[in-house]
């Protein structure tokens, strides 16, 4: 075979292999969330194992942001529920960093489709995530189209995610997955080669019940004040004139509508915040927030658990992410005042 022909054949074979590799990974990304959305997939596997380990036991799952991830001490909650109810119990933390109502609704649909249904669902409300912002929901800055399955793209766009970018990111995850999904893939096989925020491996360090164990147990007041200043820089401008009418607010209402349709008991939770963080809310913002949540409760029968004032500043790293002692205190009170009364009331009504 002439040299030129051999070279042409080699190029053709290489191109065909490249196409096949792209196609194969694109199909895998659409079929397996371990490729597309590994943080979700890791948690789903853990949740399924918890259901299997505690068959038929009273179960509670909390959907939320990193506030939930650090604050909802699920193993501790399970132990207390089991002791108080006189049997087994299951509790799981589905806290997702940088998430919001659109993410939570998407994930709840996935869980229900997978047959993973708790007896009680707790849903965190992060106030900035329901704000009306010019560029769409706050979480759209962090949840990209390549983490969504095909049927999830248009609903996200409907809630205000940037249409062109969201569709393009999903499309590239199918047609050019080795490029578009390079960070999740590399984060699985060689995470140390990437900066921490690009690894998509935060879910691999959680405990079996989904809790993101805080690394430190205490901080100096100076470090906590630095953290609060960073948080104020992230959220202060949004809270200064927040109107809970954005796409996230609509997604939260739709999540409650889905729970009603599925006859899934649900409670909304405002997570603890330090006095310094709460000072970021002007009175008008606070009034609009509570009016919105009261309207949701009236419409969907979803009671609000208002834990904003439960903890002092010493319980946080930055005014809203809990240290371990804060997570313990919050979880204990949550069981006492909300979770345990739900299960006792359910048992009495049977």
pLDDT tens digits along 124-160: 999 999 999 999 999 999 888 788 999 999 999 999 9
Domains annotated for the chain, with CATH where assigned, are 39-138+209-349 (3.40.50.1110)
Do residues 129 and 65 lie in contact, with contact meaning Cβ atoms separated by under 8 Å? Answer: yes
pLDDT tens digits along 1-20: 566 655 544 444 444 443 44
pLDDT tens digits along 82-101: 999 999 999 999 999 999 99
- Taking the whole predicted model, whether its pTM rises above 0.95 is answered as no
d(CA 239, CA 237): 6
pLDDT bin (cut points 50, 70, 90) of residue 188 is low
What does the mean pLDDT of the chain come to?
87
Tell me the HSE value of 158 on the side-chain side, using a 13 A CA sphere. 11
pLDDT tops 90 at residue 200: no
pLDDT tops 70 at residue 290: yes
Among 244, 253, 243, smallest CA distance to 297 is for 253
d(CA 243, CA 224): 28
Over residues 298-315, the mean pLDDT reads 98
Token output for 164: 């062109």
CA 6 to chain centre: 53
pLDDT tens digits along 55-68: 999 999 999 999 99
pLDDT tens digits along 320-338: 999 999 999 999 999 999 9
Strands (E), 100-238: 120-124
Characterize the bridge pairing of strands 59-64 and 90-95: parallel
The reported pLDDT for the residue numbered 184 is 63
């Amino acid at each position: 075979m002439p040299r030129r022909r051999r070279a042409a054949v080699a190029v053709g074979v290489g191109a065909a292999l490249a196409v096949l590799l792209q196609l194969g990974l694109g199909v895998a990304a659409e079929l397996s969330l371990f490729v597309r959305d590994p943080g979700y997939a890791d948690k789903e596997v853990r949740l399924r194992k918890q259901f299997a380990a505690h068959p038929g036991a009273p179960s509670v799952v909390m959907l939320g942001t990193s506030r939930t991830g650090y604050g909802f001490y699920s193993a501790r909650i399970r132990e207390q529920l089991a002791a108080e109810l006189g049997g087994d119990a299951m509790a799981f933390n589905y806290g997702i960093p940088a998430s919001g109502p659109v993410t939570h609704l998407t994930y709840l649909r996935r869980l229900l489709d997978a047959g993973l249904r708790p007896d009680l669902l707790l849903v965190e409300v992060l106030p900035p995530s329901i704000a009306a912002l010019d560029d769409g929901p706050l979480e759209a800055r962090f949840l990209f189209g390549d983490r969504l399955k095909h049927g999830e793209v248009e609903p996200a766009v409907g809630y205000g995610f940037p249409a062109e970018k969201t569709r393009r990111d999903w499309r590239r995850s199918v047609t050019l997955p080795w490029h578009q999904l390079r960070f999740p893939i590399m984060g699985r096989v060689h995470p140390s080669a990437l900066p921490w925020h690009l690894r998509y491996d935060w879910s691999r360090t959680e405990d079996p019940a989904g809790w993101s164990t805080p690394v430190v147990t205490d901080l100096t007041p100076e470090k906590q004040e630095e953290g609060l200043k960073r948080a104020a820089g992230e959220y202060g401008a949004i809270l200064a004139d927040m109107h809970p009418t954005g796409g996230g607010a609509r997604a939260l209402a739709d999540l409650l509508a889905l729970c009603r349709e599925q006859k899934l008991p649900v409670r909304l939770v405002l997570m603890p915040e330090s006095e310094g963080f709460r000072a970021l809310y002007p009175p008008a913002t606070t009034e609009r927030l509570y009016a919105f949540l009261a309207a949701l409760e009236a419409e969907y029968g979803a009671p609000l658990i208002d834990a904003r004032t439960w903890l002092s500043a010493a319980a946080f790293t930055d005014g809203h992410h809990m240290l371990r002692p804060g997570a313990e205190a919050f979880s204990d009170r949550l069981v006492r005042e909300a979770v345990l009364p739900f299960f006792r009331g359910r048992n009495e009504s049977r």
